[in-house]
């Protein structure tokens, strides 16, 4: 009887985990397009960045310690992203006003997008519950200039993530130039 219950629980949990991961856009697939408002009130679409590498990162909440560290590191490394023909775009479920205040307070000049309806975080399977509230999970997608996902990171460490992404961009771009 106990073995049967363990097997049942394993199947149920495994099926649940599979369905969660199956919804995340796969590496090599086209990145789902979207349009969201940024901290300056302009509408930003993923397709606006065709021809550039895009670091699309999802984060839980403006002004929290981990999110502030991650944003500061992406800001610090902006010149290195520019050298790699890459842009950084952050997404959370916070409002444009919250993003504007966060950018002003922290000196951020890259785009933060407000997904208050939770559509994009769900498209990218980047949601989590925190104390009964649905927020963005700390996930990142590297999207190539043609709009395809080349890397996906889940549950990243905000302290070292920007450097991890820069290293990945170097590897991806070296691979892309070597295949031509």
pTM, full prediction: 0.85
The residues of the chain scoring below 50 in pLDDT are 1-22, 180
pLDDT of res. 180: 45
- At 164, which CATH number? 3.40.30.10
Whether 18 is in a domain gets the answer: no
pLDDT of res. 175: 78
Whether 14 is in a domain gets the answer: no
Whether 110 is in a domain gets the answer: yes
Number of structural domains (the chain) is 1
Catalytic residues: 67
Whether 161 is in a domain gets the answer: yes
Whether 69 is in a domain gets the answer: yes
* 37, two tokens: 């408002």
pLDDT of res. 177: 66
Whether 25 is in a domain gets the answer: no
Whether 4 is in a domain gets the answer: no
pLDDT of res. 15: 34
pLDDT of res. 165: 97
Whether 137 is in a domain gets the answer: yes
Question: pLDDT tens digits, residue range 55-77?
Answer: 999 999 999 999 999 999 999 99
Separation CA 4–CA 173 (nearest Å):
50
pLDDT of res. 178: 56
Residue ranges making up the domain that contains 142: 36-178
């Amino acid at each position: 009887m106990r073995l049967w219950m363990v097997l049942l629980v394993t199947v149920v949990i495994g099926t649940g985990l599979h369905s969660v991961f199956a919804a995340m856009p796969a590496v090599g697939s086209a990145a789902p397009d979207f349009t969201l408002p940024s901290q300056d009130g302009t509408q930003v679409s993923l397709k606006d960045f065709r021809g550039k590498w895009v670091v699309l990162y999802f984060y839980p909440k403006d002004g929290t310690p981990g999110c502030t560290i991650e944003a500061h590191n992406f800001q610090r490394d902006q010149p290195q992203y520019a050298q790699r023909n890459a842009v950084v775009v952050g997404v959370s479920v916070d409002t444009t006003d919250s993003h504007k205040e966060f950018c002003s307070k922290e000196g951020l000049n890259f785009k933060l997008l407000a997904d208050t309806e939770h559509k994009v975080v769900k498209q990218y399977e980047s949601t989590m519950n925190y104390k009964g509230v649905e927020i963005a999970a700390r996930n990142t997608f590297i999207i190539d200039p043609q709009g395809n996902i080349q890397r996906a990171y889940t549950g990243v460490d905000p302290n070292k993530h920007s450097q991890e992404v820069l290293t990945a961009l170097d590897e991806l771009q070296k691979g892309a130039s070597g295949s031509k």
